[in-house]
Chain A
Amino acid sequence: AQSVTQPDIHITVSEGASLELRCNYSYGATPYLFWYVQSPGQGLQLLLKYFSGDTLVQGIKGFEAEFKRSQSSFNLRKPSVHWSDAAEYFCAVAPTSGGSYIPTFGRGTSLIVHP
C-alpha cells in the first residue's frame, strides 16, 4: 500500500516570496501524484498531477511540482506567493496497478501568507 508524508504542518511566507511545500511518498513503483488546495470552507481543488513523462509539472494558479524518483518526492513550488494562496495544501499518491487507483492523501500543509 502507498503512503504519503507532508512533513510541514504549517508554512509561513511573506507575500511575494517563493514557496516550496514538501511531499514524500512510499510506493513500490512510480505512483500517480497529485496536489490539491483547500480554501477555508471549501472542498479540495486539483492543482496539478503527474502520471509519467516530464518530471516538472505545471498546474493552475502559477504552481508547479517536480517529481524526483531518487528522493521519492513531489514538492510543490511557486516563485511568488500571493495573499490569496493562503490555504491548506494536500499531496496525494495513487497506485498505478491493482485496478482501483484510489489516492491516499497526506495530512496537509497549512500555508500562511504575511503581507
Chain B
Amino acid sequence: DAGVIQSPRHEVTEMGQEVTLRCKPISGHNSLFWYRQTMMRGLELLIYFNNNVPIDDSGMPEDRFSAKMPNASFSTLKIQPSEPRDSAVYFCASSLKGIHYGYTFGSGTRLTVV
C-alpha cells in the first residue's frame, strides 16, 4: 500500500498565479479530507468528501479556493489567484467512512507564495 500520495511536495509560486495540489487517496477509502497547517492557526479542515461528493466546505477560506474529486482515486485543491497568506502546508487524508478507522495522511504539499 503506497499510502496517500500528494503532489507536488513543494510548490513555490508568485502571487496571482493559479496553484493546483493533487491527492491520490488509499484505494478503497471512501472519505477524503483536505487540511491546511500553519503555525498561526494549526491544523484546519478545509473540505471533505464522502464517496466523491463534497460534504462540508465550510472551512474553505475564500472563493479563491476550490476542490474537486472527479473519481474515487483523485482529488485536487486549487487556489486561484494565490496570495502570500496562502503559504502553508496542505495535507490530504483519507479514511474508510466513519470515524473508527482514523485517518491516513499524505506527506503534504508545502506551498510558498511570493
Binding site for B on A (CB under 8 A): 32, 34, 36, 41-46, 49, 51, 90, 94, 100-103, 105-108
Contact = CB atoms under 8 A, between A and B. Distances in A.
28 contacts: A32-B99, A32-B100, A34-B102, A36-B105, A41-B108, A43-B4, A43-B91, A43-B93, A43-B105, A43-B106, A43-B108, A44-B103, A44-B105, A45-B105, A46-B102, A46-B103, A46-B104, A94-B99, A100-B55, A100-B56, A101-B98, A101-B99, A102-B48, A102-B56, A103-B103, A105-B43, A108-B42, A108-B43
Given A102-B56, A108-B42, A43 B107 contact: yes
Interface residues on B, range: 10 to 19
A102 B103 contact: no
A103 B42 contact: no
A74 B39 CA distance: 23
Given A32-B99, A43-B4, A51-B100, A102 B45 contact: yes
A94 B31 CA distance: 16
B42 A105 contact: yes
List the 8 closest A-B pairs by CB distance, nearest first: A43-B105, A101-B99, A46-B102, A105-B43, A44-B105, A107-B42, A43-B107, A43-B106
A34 B91 CA distance: 18
B98 to A, nearest CB: 7
B67 to A, nearest CB: 15
A42 B4 CA distance: 11
Given A51-B100, A101-B98, 10 more contacts: A41-B107, A43-B91, A43-B105, A43-B106, A43-B107, A44-B43, A46-B102, A49-B100, A102-B56, A106-B42
